[in-house]
Amino acid sequence: MNKLSINSLKIIVADLLDLSVADLSLDQPFHEQGEYDSLKVVLLMASLEEDFALTVPPTEAWELNSIREIVEFAQKQEFVVED
């Protein structure tokens, strides 16, 4: 069964948004926390695929706007979510 680590996900997103992990909100949309454009969406989706084997269809990539939404998406894909 595939696993998603919330801590690892926070590190990836914080790096993308040029924030510290401590400043990152689980629920606030990415574009409200830093510069989040189409390139960063692609980079995030590539990281999800590479680091967690979580594939997000291109039509849904823009809809995952927060860490919480990514976690919920992963759970729907039957991923085990860990802290």
Please give the mean pLDDT across all residues of the chain. 96
The backbone region for 53, taken as left when phi is positive above 0, alpha when psi lies in -120 to 50, beta otherwise, is left
Q: Is the pLDDT of residue 45 over 90?
A: yes
Structural domains in the chain?
A: 3-82 (1.10.1200.10)
> pLDDT band at 1, cuts 50/70/90?
confident
Cα separation, 24 vs 19, whole angstroms = 7
- Predicted TM-score (pTM) of the model is 0.95
